[in-house]
């Protein structure tokens, strides 16, 4: 079964063809990173206009790279939330037009569910095995989710304020390191030592997260001119966030007696997070390769495959849901 995935929820226009939810035939991403970098964040109106320019060329490239014609496809999967309404609309309307023109079934995919399914695209002997706990860490979310089977999610915990990626982005701005925050903090941290004491919000007895305290502490230090080395501050910030994510993910996995920990979302690209989770978890940990952690459409196609298999198709009335929930 070959599925074309389309993703346009934020600032990447992406299309990819995936076979049987596991084999990537093509995976194209047109990034708007440079366009938004000068504003220090994603400008929604600019993003949706850019998606309109990119979506058809990116789909054409993905189809060509997969060597696929429309007849070779079995369905279209498209992100319909959560995300920016104007951005989501471009992907969803394009997907609907293709589904109608070529008489293909359509399914709307939750972007976070897509991130989780990036783990099904990994060529490794270690395959996802239910029940599992998934740590979803992106620019907009920090969730701990219990997954007992395909499409079966129970939200165990979430952030009460900033998402992990959002915290990285804000910390980078405070330290004057640029955008996007995750990669630049990680790079600065490589030459620093985590010597600056920063508060950890453990929120004991819950699986929730809070990252605004760490960010505010960093801001106070910066305002007081107390940051001698941005590299040390970056390393300290990264260590504090990673420490909380790793500890709480392992605790949740123990509490629910699961088989594995899955990690997903843009922050899963963080080298320190990957290293510490793999070292400290008593359970197998699955993390997609870097390219599949950040936004892409192969993960949307993979998720779409499992949705089609479960009979979850959508009609041409499929709409965007900017605040779509996973569970
Ligand atoms: O999943 P994603 O590409 O988009 C959303 O769905 O939000 O995640 C983007 C987030 C950004 O906040 C970015 O700073 C963060 O992922 N990120 C990282 C790294 N690479 C991207 N955070 C920490 N370390 C990284 N290496
Ligand atoms: Zn994402």
Name the residue ranges covered by the structural domains of the chain: 2-117+292-309, 129-287
Whole-number pLDDT of residue 58: 98
Give the per-residue pLDDT at 197.
94
pLDDT at 162: 97
CA distance readout (Å), 41 to 34, 37, 142, 159: 10, 6, 19, 20
Q: Is 182 in the pocket of ligand 1 (CB under 6 A)?
A: yes
* 14, 134, 182, best to mutate for ligand 1 pocket (most atoms within 8 Å of CB): 182
Of the listed ligands, the closest to the CA of 271 is 1
- What's the pLDDT band for 121 if we cut at 50, 70, 90? very high
Q: Could you tell me which of 289, 300, 269 has the C-alpha nearest to residue 10?
A: 300
Out of 294, 296, 299, give the residue to mutate to test ligand 1, the one with the largest number of ligand atoms within 8 Å of its CB. 294
Q: Collect residues with CB below 5 Å from ion ligand 2.
A: 138, 295
Q: Give the per-residue pLDDT at 119.
A: 98
Using the atom order of ligand 1, give the atom closest to the CA of residue 181. Answer: 14
Q: Judge contact between 17 and 3, C-beta under 8 A.
A: yes
CATH for 129-287, among 3.30.70.520, 3.40.50.1970, 3.30.420.40, 3.30.200.20?
3.30.420.40
What's the order of all strands across the beta sheet hosting 106-110? 23-31, 12-19, 2-7, 75-81, 106-110
Determine contact, residues 208/162, Cβ cutoff 8 Å.
Answer: no
Quick one: which ligand is closest to 142's CA? 1
Minimal-distance CA residue to ligand 1 atom 19: 182
pLDDT tens digits for 165-203?
Answer: 999 999 999 999 998 899 999 999 999 999 999 999 999
CA distance 165 to 268: 10
Confidence band for 40, pLDDT divided at 50, 70 and 90? confident
User: Which ligand is located closest to the Cα atom of residue 269?
Assistant: 1
- pLDDT of residue 94 exceeding 80: yes
Local confidence band at 251 (pLDDT 50, 70, 90 cut-offs): very high
**Interval 95-119 mean pLDDT:** 98
In the structure, what pLDDT confidence band is assigned to residue 122 with cuts at 50, 70 and 90?
A: very high
Identical fold between 2-117+292-309 and 129-287: yes
Report CA(294)–ligand 1 centroid distance (Å): 6
Give me the pLDDT at residue 214, please.
96
Q: How far apart are CA 78 and CA 316, in angstroms?
A: 12
84 band by pLDDT with thresholds 50, 70 and 90? very high
What is the model's pTM?
Answer: 0.96
Residue 307 has pLDDT above 80, yes or no: yes
Q: Is 2-117+292-309 in CATH node 3.30.420.40?
A: yes
Average pLDDT over the chain, rounded to an integer: 97
- The percent of residues above 90 in pLDDT, for the chain, comes to 97
pLDDT at position 179, please?
87
C-alpha–C-alpha distance, residues 10 and 3, integer Å: 21
Q: With 90 as the cut, is the pLDDT of residue 327 above it?
A: no
Strand ranges across the sheet with 152-158? 152-158, 142-149, 132-137, 260-264, 285-286
138 lines ligand 1 (CB under 6 A): yes
Residues with Cβ within 8 Å of 209's Cβ and at least 6 positions away in sequence, in order, are 142, 157, 158, 159, 160, 164, 201, 203, 244, 245, 248
In short, whether 110's Cβ falls inside 6 Å of ligand 1 is no
Give backbone dihedrals phi and psi of 94, rounded to 5 degrees, phi first. -65, -45
Nearest residue (CA) to ligand 1, atom 2:
266
186 Cβ contact list (under 8 Å, min separation 6): 238, 270, 271, 272
For ligand 1, atom 7, the nearest C-alpha belongs to 139
Residue having the nearest C-alpha atom to atom 16 of ligand 1: 266
Are the CB atoms for 6 and 297 separated by under 8 Å?
A: yes
- Let me know: does 56 contact 28? Beta carbons within 8 Å: no
- The CA-CA-CA angle for residues 2, 287, 142, to 5°, reads 100
C-beta of 165 in contact with ligand 1 (< 6 A): yes
Q: What residue owns the CA closest to ligand 1's atom 22? A: 182
Closest to 252 (Cα-Cα) out of 143, 141, 159: 143
């Amino acid at each position: 079964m070959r599925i074309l995935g389309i993703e346009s929820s934020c600032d990447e226009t992406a299309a990819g063809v995936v076979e049987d939810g596991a084999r990537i035939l093509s995976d194209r991403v047109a990034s708007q990173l440079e366009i938004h970098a000068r504003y220090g964040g994603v400008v929604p109106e600019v993003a949706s206009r850019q998606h309109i320019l990119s979506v058809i060329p990116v789909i054409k490239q993905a189809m060509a790279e997969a060597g696929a014609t429309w007849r070779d496809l079995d369905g279209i999967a498209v992100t319909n939330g959560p995300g920016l309404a104007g951005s989501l609309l471009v992907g969803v309307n394009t997907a609907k037009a293709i589904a109608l023109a070529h008489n293909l079934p359509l399914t709307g995919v939750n972007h976070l569910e897509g991130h989780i399914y990036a783990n099904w695209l990994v060529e490794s002997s270690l395959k996802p095995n239910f029940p599992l706990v998934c740590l979803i860490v992106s620019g907009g979310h920090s969730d701990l989710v219990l997954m007992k089977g395909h499409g079966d999610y129970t939200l165990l915990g979430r952030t009460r304020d900033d998402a992990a990626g959002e915290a990285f982005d804000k910390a980078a701005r405070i330290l004057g390191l640029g955008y996007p925050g995750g990669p630049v903090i990680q790079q600065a941290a490589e030459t620093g030592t985590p010597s600056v004491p920063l508060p950890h919000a453990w929120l004991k007895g819950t699986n929730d997260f809070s990252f605004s305290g760490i960010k505010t502490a960093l801001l106070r230090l910066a305002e007081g001119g107390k940051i001698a080395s941005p590299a040390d501050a970056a390393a300290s910030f990264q260590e504090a966030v990673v420490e909380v994510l790793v500890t709480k993910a392992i605790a949740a996995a123990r509490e629910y007696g699961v088989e594995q920990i899955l990690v997903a979302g843009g922050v899963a690209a963080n080298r320190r997070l990957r290293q510490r989770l793999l070292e400290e978890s008593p359970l197998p940990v699955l993390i997609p390769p870097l390219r599949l952690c950040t936004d892409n459409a192969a993960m949307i196609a993979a998720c779409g495959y499992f949705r089609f298999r479960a009979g979850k198709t959508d009609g041409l009335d499929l709409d965007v849901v900017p605040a779509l929930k996973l569970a």
